[in-house]
Chain A
Amino acid sequence: MSELRPDLAIIADHVAPASRVLDVGCGDGELMDVLRARGCDARGIEIDPRNVSLAVTRGLSVVQGDADTDLVNYPDNAFDYAILSQTLQTARAPDQVLTELLRIGRRAFVSFPNFAYWRVRLSLAWGGRMPVTPALPVSWYETQNIHQLTIDDFRAFVKERGITVEQAWFLTGARRRGEAAANLRAEHAVFLLRR
């Protein structure tokens, strides 16, 4: 099996074995595969039909759908964990997606690229261009990311909404960063949230 993306590896390591998990934007089911091997009941939602087909062919339970519209169809507390990896910034209404995530999951993992990462700031401040980095690899005109955010934005958001942060991880590539100056130094972040 190929190496899991760093944020997915952190999530996989912190999901309790044999949990019920919903992976929103599950791609081809990479993370679900690992979770299933750990005895989890993993379900997925994915918008791209090619990816859905790959995941179903892998024997995973994946539904073709859109995080923005389809989460309302899941009952309250249906899952121990709801996962949203690198998808928040692509949602039309990220605040509503987060609300739904914490309604259907008792806990939620959310990972996203940090727009306040120093390379991003440099690119914009000195280069005057929209950044293209490993975490944000696509040019402005073709990016899916319509709601860019920073770690501090996210912290402010969850505080405002009264959401509890159980744990947070900050990464540059696969390398862990400390909490200190994470907003500047981390390329992406993973948060474990609770209502």
Chain B
Amino acid sequence: MTDDTRFGLARSVTLAGPLRLDGGARLSPVSVAYETYGQLNADGSNAILICHALTGDQHVASAHPITGKPGWWTRMVGAGKPIDPARHFIICANVLGSCLGSSGPATIDPKTGAPYAMRFPVITIRDMVRAQALLLDHLGVDTLAAVVGGSMGGMQVLQWAATYPDRVRSAVVIASAARHSAQNIAFHEVGRQAIMADPKWNGGDYYAAGDPPAAGLAVARMAAHITYLSEAGLTEKFGRRLQKRPGKENGAKSFGFDADFQIESYLRHQGISFVDRFDANSYLYITRAMDYFDLAEEHGGLLATAFAGCKQTRFCLVSFDTDWLYPTAESRAIVHALNAAGAPVSFMELSSPFGHDAFLLDVPELNRVVDGFLRAGETR
């Protein structure tokens, strides 16, 4: 397998399709950018699919091509980590609709020779999962030892278990939900309106000009970023502290609208650095996919029905006590549905001051739980 060009870092495949989408459209061809780590074992039993969050990517444990920063989940994936290339064959793919190599609004539409922009079909979480399933078929991976993801990645994990229960032996859902709440949708709408209010957005057709709606996208990211943190965490990290200024060690108010407070300059930095690595139209499409996500609705309004086929799939859910974007109650609702469906499920709420972002940060307890859960599945 070592000389098989399908496996390794920075891979991409274009599949003929068509991929039938929930919105009724058919997408063809379908490109999926992905990375794999480790080796698929002889009986194909050690594959783990990692699903990334809204603005994540396939570079789960390798340097990001634009920022040069280490992979987004090196705390969970790597030598000696719970998901270990020495034991596991690890797959992470850029989701459909994104902008790091998978088909999305920035992709050239073969019919017109121009980027799809807003002519790209609206996609759903299930469409993303269908594209991942196509990739697995291409890689020759039939069954997954585990599907693992946090936030939007967790939604994909739930969707995987509901759509392809026979292909998923274990499912790890971290800081996620089975549906997007009104509050979640509200925050996303603020972000989308910020992008669409930027004159450079131009109805989505900004690719040719080379001048994207950076200001709108930065504002969208700033608003979203607040939802990833907690009030306690923000207070601890920034409080009301002022930015240092030349000659003023403790900062000073400008009596104007510069970033006086440290939290302001932090958010501005988060917004500005985000536009270097993300496409505004992708942000519109992926937030829409999350808003449409409601696993129960697809199954007659009863979440337990979504998991009716999951008798053999083990679940592990983790929430964080300061996460107000996907609070513990959302995870509990999933746990109750899984119990009602008779699926084996573990759940715990971990304590962390970092809000929703905790799943990406150093929480040793999270690593212990995921490690124990995955290992127990391997010895069965």
The residues of A with any CB-CB pair to B shorter than 8 Å are 41, 43, 49, 52-53, 55-65, 70, 73-75, 78
Contacts and interface: CB of A to CB of B under 8 A. Distances in A.
Interface in B358-380: 365, 368-369, 371-373, 375-377, 379
A64 B342 contact: no
A43 B341 CA distance: 13
Contacts of B335: 63, 65, 73
Contacts of A43: 339, 344-345
A58 B346 CA distance: 11
B347 interface: yes
A58 to B, nearest CB: 7
B316 A56 contact: yes
A41 B372 CA distance: 18
A49 B350 contact: yes
Contacts of B373: 56-57, 59
Contacts, number: 67
Contacts of B308: none
Contact of A62 (B346, B368, B371, B379): B346
Interface in B319-366: 332, 335-336, 339-340, 342, 344-351, 365
Contacts of B349: 49, 64
Nearest to B337: A73
B339 A60 contact: no
Contact of A53 (B340, B365, B375, B377): B365
A75 B341 CA distance: 9
A79 to B, nearest CB: 10
A52 B328 CA distance: 15
A57 B348 CA distance: 11
B186 to A, nearest CB: 28
Contact of A64 (B339, B348, B377): B348
B179 interface: no
Contacts of B332: 65
Contacts of B379: 59
Interface residues of B, number: 26
Given A49-B349, A56-B373, A63 B339 contact: yes
Given A73-B339, A78-B339, A59 B372 contact: yes
Nearest to A46: B348
Nearest to A61: B344
A63 B365 CA distance: 16
B331 to A, nearest CB: 10
Main SS of the interface on chain A? Answer: mixed
Contact of B368 (A57, A70, A74, A78): A57
Interface in B21-47: none
B19 to A, nearest CB: 35
20 contacts: A43-B339, A43-B344, A52-B348, A53-B348, A53-B368, A53-B369, A56-B346, A57-B368, A58-B372, A59-B372, A59-B379, A61-B344, A62-B346, A63-B335, A64-B349, A65-B335, A73-B339, A74-B340, A78-B339, A78-B342
A176 B335 CA distance: 39
Contacts of B365: 53
B221 interface: no
Contacts of B345: 43, 61, 63
A47 B369 CA distance: 16
B188 interface: no
Nearest to B365: A53
Given A43-B344, A73-B336, A78-B342, A57 B369 contact: yes
Contacts of B316: 56
Interface centre among A43, A60, A63 (most CB of B within 10 A): A63
A63 B347 CA distance: 4
B372 A56 contact: yes
B29 to A, nearest CB: 42
B214 to A, nearest CB: 43
A55 B351 CA distance: 17
Contact of A59 (B342, B348, B376): B376
A187 B314 CA distance: 39
A55 B379 CA distance: 16
Contacts of B346: 52, 55-56, 60-63
A75 B340 CA distance: 6
Contact of A74 (B339, B344, B371, B376): B339
